[in-house]
């Protein structure tokens, strides 16, 4: 397989079957160094299986992969030295403290002995666990566990980081913390990040490019905005009206059959919405005017990944 010089992950026809089920189906991917790639798909789409294949902990049924220039199937040990993985379930040892856990994994990842204790302290500090570092994990909240698991995957400063649904099941505050940590860590140096998620907003906020996976098959790949432009024929609009008429405008727009994903800004009289077709804009303007809601501004927006999802999956799938 000929790989681009700067590519960190290259797969060709990568396939994994479990009995009659094809969990990953002829995956062709090229991921560049320094890239944050969002691997987007519903539950069961094949994200976790792909991470396992790319780390050489599961063997492929067909196809090839090169990760950091190595073959995961035969060079798994050497490869895993250079990758870090946040598994879907944190996979922490409940009966150990955070500090013990990190120190043990530092040994497993061969962090130079003289650096272990400083590195552990540094990570506990960075992941806001310093004051609880000597407590057993069994007493940790979900957010703390996720931060600890994340710290563990950063332990040996991996060149390539796999994050499998890093924020699923977390509350909004923990989610934001985790996002900040991922962004900070991926900014420092030329890390490549492979981020599995079923959260569109997360992918949009963190990723340079997004690959959309459905039933093990890659259905689209590109920058979020670019994907939107290519795959979605509709428009996303920002509508500004007068403060007095927000309620009225909102009810008109909600009643407009073609409008989707309608949201109202918290502090300003601005509504955003998506329309499947720009030909529907004049109609909407007419209705707003007829209802007596003044229109101060009507701006087209970049499409979101959610819009792409609608284009790809249709309504039921996207809201599942």
Partner 1 sequence: MNRRAILAIVRRDLLTVSRSKGVMYPLIIVPLILMVAMPAALGYFMPASTRAPNVNIGELEQFLAQMPATLQAQFATYTLEQQLIVYMLLYMFAPLFLVMPLMVSTVIAADSFAGEKERKTLEALIYTPTSDMELFVGKLLSGWLPAMAVSLISFVLYGVSANLSAWPTMQHIFFPNAMWLVLVFWVTPGAAALGMGAAVLVSSRVSTFQEAYQLSSIVVIPIVLLVLVQALGVIYLSVALTVALGVVIWIAAVALLWWGVRTFRRNEIIARW
Interface residues with Mg ion (CB under 5 A)? 47-48, 88
Which residue's CB is nearer to partner 1, number 55 or number 250? 55
Segment 198 to 257, residues that bind partner 1, using CB under 8 A: none
Question: Which is nearer to partner 1, 23 or 237 (by Cβ)?
Answer: 23
Shortest separation between residue 65's beta carbon and ligand ADP, angstroms: 15
CB 8 within 8 A of CB 192: yes
Binding of ligand ADP by 38 (CB under 6 A): no
Binding segment (CB under 6 A) for ligand ADP, from list 16-24, 96-104, 135-143, 280-288: 16-24
Which residue of 41, 56, 224, 303 would you call a contact of ligand ADP, by CB under 6 A? Answer: 41
Using CB under 8 A, pick the residue from 3, 62, 107, 244 that binds partner 1: 107
Beta carbon of residue 143, minimum distance to ligand ADP (angstroms, whole number): 21
Q: Of the ranges 37-45, 103-111, 207-215, 246-254, which one interacts with partner 1 (CB under 8 A)?
A: 103-111
Residue 46 binds ligand ADP, judged by CB under 6 A: yes
Minimum distance from CB of 253 to partner 1 (Å)? 46
Q: Kindly report the three-state secondary structure assignment for every residue of the chain.
A: CCCCCCEEEEEEEEEEEECCEEEEEEEEEEEECCCEEEEECCCCCCHHHHHHHHCCCCCCCEEEEEECCECCCCCHHHHHCCEEEECCCCCCCCCCEHHHHHHHHHHHCCCCHHHHHHHHHHHHHHCCCHHHCCCEHHHCCHHHHHHHHHHHHHCCCCCEEEEECCCCCCCHHHHHHHHHHHHHHHHCCCCEEEEEECCHHHHHHHCCEEEEEECCEEEEEECHHHHHHHHCCCEEEEEECCHHHHHHHHHHHHHCCCEEEEEECCCCCEEEEEECCHHHHHHHHHHHHHHCCCCCEEEEECCCHHHHHHHHHHHHHHCC
58 counts as binding partner 1 under rule CB under 8 A: yes
Stretch that binds ligand ADP, among 26-34, 46-54, 226-234, 235-243 (CB under 6 A): 46-54
> Nearer to Mg ion by C-beta: 47 or 80?
47
In the bound state with ligand ADP, the residue whose beta carbon lies nearer, of 48 and 146, is 48
Interacting residues with partner 1 (CB under 8 A): 18, 52, 55, 57-59, 77-81, 83, 85, 87, 89, 91-96, 100, 104-105, 107-110, 136, 149, 152
């Amino acid at each position: 397989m000929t790989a681009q010089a700067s590519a960190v992950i290259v797969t060709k026809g990568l396939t994994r079957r479990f009995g009659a089920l094809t969990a990953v189906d002829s995956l062709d991917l090229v991921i560049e160094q320094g890239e944050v790639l969002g691997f987007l798909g519903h539950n069961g789409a094949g994200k976790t299986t792909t991470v396992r294949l790319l780390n050489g902990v599961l063997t492929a049924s067909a196809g090839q992969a090169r990760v950091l220039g190595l073959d995961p199937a035969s060079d798994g040990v050497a490869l895993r030295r250079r990758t870090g993985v946040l598994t879907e379930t944190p996979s922490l040892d409940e009966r150990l403290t955070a500090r013990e856990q990190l120190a043990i994994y530092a040994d497993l990842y061969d962090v130079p002995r003289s650096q272990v204790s400083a590195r552990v302290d540094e990570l506990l500090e960075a992941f806001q666990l310093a004051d609880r570092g000597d407590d057993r994990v069994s007493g940790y909240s979900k957010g703390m566990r996720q931060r600890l698991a994340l710290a563990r995957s950063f332990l040996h400063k991996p060149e390539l980081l796999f994050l499998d649904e890093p924020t699923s099941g977390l509350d909004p505050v923990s989610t934001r913390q985790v996002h900040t940590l991922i962004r900070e860590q991926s900014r420092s140096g030329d890390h490549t990040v492979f981020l599995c998620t079923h959260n569109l907003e997360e992918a949009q906020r963190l990723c340079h490019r997004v690959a959309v996976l459905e039933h093990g098959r890659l259905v689209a790949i590109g920058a979020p905005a670019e994907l939107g432009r290519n795959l979605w024929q509709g428009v996303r609009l920002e509508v500004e009206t007068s403060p007095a008429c927000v309620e009225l405008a909102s009810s008109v727009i909600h009643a407009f059959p073609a409008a989707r994903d309608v949201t109202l800004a918290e502090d300003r009289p601005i509504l955003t919405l998506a329309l499947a077709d720009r030909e529907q804009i004049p109609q909407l303007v007419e209705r707003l005017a007829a209802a007596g809601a003044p229109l101060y501004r009507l701006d087209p927006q970049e499409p979101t990944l959610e819009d792409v999802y609608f284009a790809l999956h249709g309504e039921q799938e996207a809201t599942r």
